[in-house]
Structure 1
Amino acid sequence: MKNKNYYAVLMAGGVGSRFWPISTSSYPKQFHDMLGTGDTLIQKTFKRLNKFVPTENILILTNERYNDLVLEQLPMVKQDQVVLEPAMRNTAPCILYAALKIQKMNENGVMIVAPSDHWIEDEDAFAADVTTCFEKCEKEEVLCTLGIKPSFPNTGFGYIEFEKESAEGLKKVNQFREKPDYETAKEFLAQGNFLWNAGIFMWSVKTIVNAFKNYQPEQYSLFESGMSCYNTGEEKEFIKENYPKAENISIDYAILENSKSIFVLPASFDWNDLGTWGSLYDKLDKDEDNNAVVNSKVVTTDASGNMIRSPKDKIVVVDGLNDYIIVDKKEVLLIYPKSKEQDIKKVLGEVKDKFGDTYA
């Protein structure tokens, strides 16, 4: 039996612009089968959470424009489980909104907030780690997060610094650290008490709502004033009118930087945030020339280390290219050095300026 006090909030509002041209603002990466497994990223994430969270207790937080995509890809989800943001306001407002909805359903609820586009291989280990955090959150007024043991000095993630004297298991967090430069990242690894911040959080609804009350009183009173409307026919109207008034602030700045009782559990599973074509390349099986191929039938000569993706069964011939991203879709072809993958966002801007929003 799944625990009826367990809830999940699946964050599915992002655009994933570094995965352009596959990920576009009208059809972002979480709704694509990026790995060629037969499941889209949001479907994989839903199944992973559904192993220990009841189906009806999983809320999908997304932008209004993706409502139909969510319902189409997750047919087991009812419309009232899809929590729609009428405006982009970062992570704090939508998490508070979801927490108040859950609190109204079940004041003993504990919830996980998880991105919809991560890759996690060992789903049982993931479920065990989250349950460990849930159990602590049920007993104590604490905020919990999962940290990833760093495998190299990555400058693309924020870090979580924990107390060196911490016992096994959950560790007291000292502070959250911004994305570092390379030298700082190397220092973090040398110190040994730093984890990557995966953006996966667990807390009881009581604790997170109280944290907003204490640290973000304006935000709290704005959303709390709609309590009588939540989970009723009046909710949509209230949110449409009030959500745009919310401050645009991340949960990290709004709550986590202020809270004194945060614990981190070093994850016991393999994790990848699938943020870029390079991170996807790292996760995929490679052919004998170290090319990662999704959907394509390839013929390669003197070509290695490439990330190749095309429509299903399209034949792709590559000669003399190494370490490139080659992505073909009907109206866009991208051939771009893997070493410059962080600039794809910039390229997307140039495409928009030159050809309009149709391809973005």
Structure 2
Amino acid sequence: MNSHRYCVIMCGGVGSRFWPYSREDRPKQFIDFLGTGRSLLQMSYDRILPLVPKENIVVVTNEKYASLIREQLPDVLPHNILLEPARRNTAPCIAWAAYHIAALDPQASMIVAPSDHLITGDAIYCECVERGFEFVENNDALLTLGITPVRPETGYGYIQVGAPVGHDINKVKTFTEKPNLELAKVFLDSGEFLWNAGIFIWRASVIIEALRKYDSDLTVLFDKGEGLFGTANETEFIKQNFEACPANSIDYAVMEKADNVYVESARFGWNDLGTWGALYDNSPKDDNDNVSQGAGLVAYKSERNIFVTPAGKLVVAHGLKDYIVADAGDVLLICPKSEEQRIKQMVNDVKIRFDEKYL
């Protein structure tokens, strides 16, 4: 195993679209949504272990989740748990991880992965990531992983592939954020576009150089900490400076601007598991296409629903079709699957009426 390879698991999201199960104090990445006995975070950790020494796994999260990280990933070294004092999107998160890793190992290459995606086909995943590591270790490249689209999805970003440069690796032509349905159909029919999986591979030094070139407002803050990263003073420096970082995604900050961006076509199964509908699609179903997690279910004339409840609770349903029923103890959500995009607004309304009580 290459000792210069690192993994950064981004673990700071709130997952509000999975409310009421995903809460401020325990977001979706810490939950065993699939009934495997491992949370989405733990599955992300397990998946990378064949490729990266466990002492080289770095987790970036919000400081309020420190105890959850230590509980779920006890083998992660304490100095590799980076606790953000504020949420500032993926560019500051990745910048901190890169500066941290570069201080520990100037020769480091790194994969950056979200903690809450569903990936199937672990052997294929490992082959893909291994190929990606080899590519960036031999080229000053920023590599992102792309997934062949299977439907005109409006909830994902898209990557247009350019000239091939290696096995399953192409230059990137363009990035497009979430398109409307008509444009998504054009992308699918063209065969030139991949879904943007939000998984990146590069050398730490290369992404730092790119950040300095394209997002200097961010790196000027981190460069003030030269000599502090990788030391006992790193945490205090971050506490004093991180909230001043401009909130920006790595796509906007770097990937859409740089000229050394490449995409590897990934063959493994992937879903960002961002909605109840996505969880429904990726869960086993009964003869009436109902999904039941954590519950016993007796259903009459009920089809294509997802029921999620605490263990030991029996659900009896009659006449429900295409509904989300999520019982989180102090909150019961009942919502048509077709209307789940309203859940974020529901969360906002609940906050206005009840403050933080049910969030």
The one-letter code sitting in structure 2 at the alignment partner of 1:304 is E
Q: 2:337 and 2:144 mapped to 1: Cα distance?
A: 31
1:313 Cα deviation after fit: 2.4
Q: Does 1:311 align with 2:336?
A: no
Question: For the aligned residues, what is the CA RMSD?
Answer: 1.1
Matches within 5 A, 1:162-311: 162-163=161-162, 168-311=167-310
8 A Cα contact 1:71 1:78, kept in partner: no
Q: 1:143 and 1:254 mapped to 2: Cα distance?
A: 13
Q: 2:337 and 2:107 mapped to 1: Cα distance?
A: 47
Aligned to 2:6: 7
Q: 2:57 and 2:223 mapped to 1: Cα distance?
A: 21
3-state SS of paired residue (1:128): helix
Aligned length: 359
Q: 1:303 and 1:223 mapped to 2: Cα distance?
A: 55
1:113 Cα deviation after fit: 0.6
Aligned to 2:109: 110
Aligned to 2:52: 53
8 A Cα contact 1:164 1:193, kept in partner: no
Summarize deviations over 1:257-302 as a string: whole Å, max 9, x none.
1111111111111111100000000000100110011111000000
1:191 Cα deviation after fit: 1.2
8 A Cα contact 2:309 2:327, kept in partner: yes
8 A Cα contact 2:10 2:93, kept in partner: no
The one-letter code sitting in structure 2 at the alignment partner of 1:99 is A
Q: 1:111 and 1:168 mapped to 2: Cα distance?
A: 20
Q: 1:120 and 1:193 mapped to 2: Cα distance?
A: 23
Distance 1:168 1:52, change over 3 A: closer
Summarize deviations over 1:295-352 as a string: whole Å, max 9, x none.
1100000001001111112111011000000111211111110001111111111111
- Specify every segment of 5 or more residues in structure 2 that has no aligned partner in the other structure, as ranges: none
Q: 2:332 and 2:191 mapped to 1: Cα distance?
A: 43
Q: 1:166 and 1:133 mapped to 2: Cα distance?
A: 12
Q: Does 1:68 align with 2:57?
A: no
How many percent identity over aligned positions? 46
Q: 1:274 and 1:218 mapped to 2: Cα distance?
A: 32
Please identify runs of 4+ aligned residues in structure 1 that moved more than 2 A.
Answer: 164-168
The one-letter code sitting in structure 2 at the alignment partner of 1:150 is P
Summarize deviations over 1:49-93 as a string: whole Å, max 9, x none.
112111110100100100111001111112211111111111111
Moved more, 163-172 or 88-97: 163-172
- Specify every segment of 5 or more residues in structure 1 that has no aligned partner in the other structure, as ranges: none
1:227 Cα deviation after fit: 2.3
The one-letter code sitting in structure 1 at the alignment partner of 2:38 is D
Q: 1:110 and 1:78 mapped to 2: Cα distance?
A: 18
The one-letter code sitting in structure 1 at the alignment partner of 2:141 is V
1:218 Cα deviation after fit: 2.9
Aligned to 1:34: 33
Aligned to 1:18: 17
Q: Does 1:324 align with 2:323?
A: yes
3-state SS of paired residue (1:39): coil
Moved more, 205-214 or 12-21: 205-214
Q: 2:138 and 2:167 mapped to 1: Cα distance?
A: 18
